[in-house]
Amino acid sequence: MMHGNPTYSRFALGIVLALLSTVVLAANPQKRNPASSDPQKTDADFPFQGEYVGDISHDGQAIRFGVQVVAMGDGKFTAVAYPGGLPGDGWTPPNTITGEGSREGEGKNGRVKLTGVDWGGVTRQGEIRNGAIVVKSNSGTEIAKLLRVNRKSPTLGQAPPKNAVVIFDGMAATSLPDTSKLIDGRVADDGLLMEGVTSKDSFGDSLWHIEFRLPYQPKDRGQGRGNSGAYLQGAYEVQMLDSFGLKGENNECGGVYSVAKPSVNMCLPPLEWQTYDIDFTAPRFESDRKVSDPRITVRHNGVVIQDNVEIPKITPGGTQSNEKHIGPLHLQNHGNPVRYRNIWVLPKP
């Protein structure tokens, strides 16, 4: 039986319930999926994820295939096969074959069984073991072997040219990284630059070199998986995202966010170093009136994926709300542990 003022009693009960809810939430915080920025701290699925290349015989003719195997968490994988070779190295869009895989065992005794359906509707079987995809016939015999490859950008580690401005080096593990050119510059224990920084200096027409490493987040999807971005002039974003094995959209890696998708998805597997080499032409103004839009050419891991693309508007999420003739570089913090090094800019005369 309730005694006293019922309004007061209900109010007091509400306070008690609110406090109890707070205690429960504090004791059970929302669990986030694992995200690793260190190749030495991953899981049993990580060694199988990657790129594989080899020849498969069809009607007496050897056809080159590239395959990208993507870890999706808890021993599950997706696989995308590219006739002709890997993206940027032999494949002609848009033909692909997709499949799924499941891991059995770990380490040297581990393997991933793959299943996919080709264009003719025939189910194909394969198995990843000992650093290769073994392709099997309908009877289960081995008909081909695709070896694992580790592609590297041809501009990885490129030294800054004369007259370039080094925004962040981070190449020498033995020296203390210099963040004096950055606002909110933070460095991880391994000496690599962390996300969410902005250059102190502003630039107009310029050539940029940026090296980045996307984290391993196998259980995350979409924009929650290795998300960051390089904002030229703090206003125009070239998206960074773990888009390995995806189609390549304007909100995925190499896309000019909301404006232009990459001509080919050159995203490497997470925890591999990647490069953006960007030729940027700033907008032009007469008095306060913009007379021409900025333009951008992007080479992702050495391949042109944006060719003199016009950017008609500021893209979302940057640090500048108005278009200007100069602006800083901003590397976005989207809550994922993306890492950067060897960032420099060469202003164009």
pLDDT (tens place) for every residue of the chain, 349 residues total: 344 444 434 434 343 333 333 443 444 445 688 898 999 999 999 999 999 999 988 777 888 999 999 999 999 999 999 999 999 999 998 889 999 999 998 877 899 999 988 767 778 889 999 999 999 887 778 889 999 999 999 999 999 999 999 999 998 866 789 999 999 999 999 999 999 999 999 999 999 999 999 999 999 998 889 999 999 999 999 999 999 999 999 999 999 999 999 999 999 999 999 999 999 999 999 988 999 999 999 999 999 999 999 999 999 999 998 999 999 999 999 889 999 999 999 999 9
Determine, yes or no, domain membership for 133. yes
Structure token pair of residue 316: 């979302």
pLDDT at residue 119, rounded to an integer: 66
Residue 115 Cα to chain centre, angstroms: 26
Of 87, 114, 149, the residue at which a domain comes to its end is 149
Place of tokens 């030229």: 232
Residue 333 within any structural domain of the chain? yes
Six-digit token string for 37 = 């920025």
Residue 112 belongs to some domain of the structure: yes
134 and 73, same domain (yes or no): yes
SS3 276: strand
Q: 38: burial class by Cβ within 10 Å (0-12, 13-18, 19+)?
A: middle
End-to-end CA distance of the chain: 85
Residue 309 CA to residue 329 CA, distance in Å, equals: 19
Residues 170, 135 within the same domain: no
Residues 139 and 196 occupy one common structural domain: no
Residues 263 and 315 in one domain: yes
Range of the domain at 62: 46-149
Question: Is the domain of 223 the same as that of 104?
Answer: no
Query: Burial of 321 by CB count in 10 Å (0-12 exposed, 13-18 middle, 19+ buried)?
Result: exposed
Do 276 and 324 fall into the same domain?
yes
In whole angstroms, what is the distance from residue 220 CA to residue 242 CA?
10
Return the H-helix or E-strand segment holding 9.
helix 6-27
Q: Final residue of a domain: which of 149, 178, 203?
A: 149
Q: What phi and psi values does residue 8 have, to the nearest 5 degrees? A: -65, -40
DSSP 29: P
**The pLDDT value given to residue 302:** 98
**Residue 144 CB contacts under 8 Å (≥ 6 apart), including other chains:** 54, 55, 56, 57, 134, 135
Residue 82: inside a domain, yes or no?
A: yes
Domain CATH number, residue 316:
2.60.120.560
Both 133 and 224 in one domain: the answer is no
Looking at the domain assignment, is residue 183 inside a domain? yes
Q: In the listed set 149, 184, 214, which residue is the last one of a domain according to the structure?
A: 149
**Do 201 and 310 have their domain in common?**
yes
Report the CATH number at residue 123.
2.40.128
Residues 212 and 293 in one domain: yes
Q: Would you say residue 28 lies in a domain?
A: no
Query: Which three-class secondary structure state does DSSP give residue 222?
Result: helix
Would 39 be classed as within a structural domain? no
Residues 324 and 290 in one domain: yes
**Whole-number Å distance between alpha carbons of 224 and 335:** 8
Number of domains making up the chain: 2
State whether 130 and 261 are in the same domain: no
pLDDT of residue 27: 45
The radius of gyration of the chain from alpha carbons, rounded to an integer in Å, stands at 25
Number of Cβ within a 10 Å radius of residue 65 = 24
Q: Identify whether 264 is part of a domain.
A: yes
Verify that 326 and 199 share a domain, yes or no.
yes
Say which residues have a Cβ less than 8 Å from residue 26's Cβ, sequence separation at least 6. none
Q: How far apart are CA 63 and CA 69, in angstroms?
A: 19
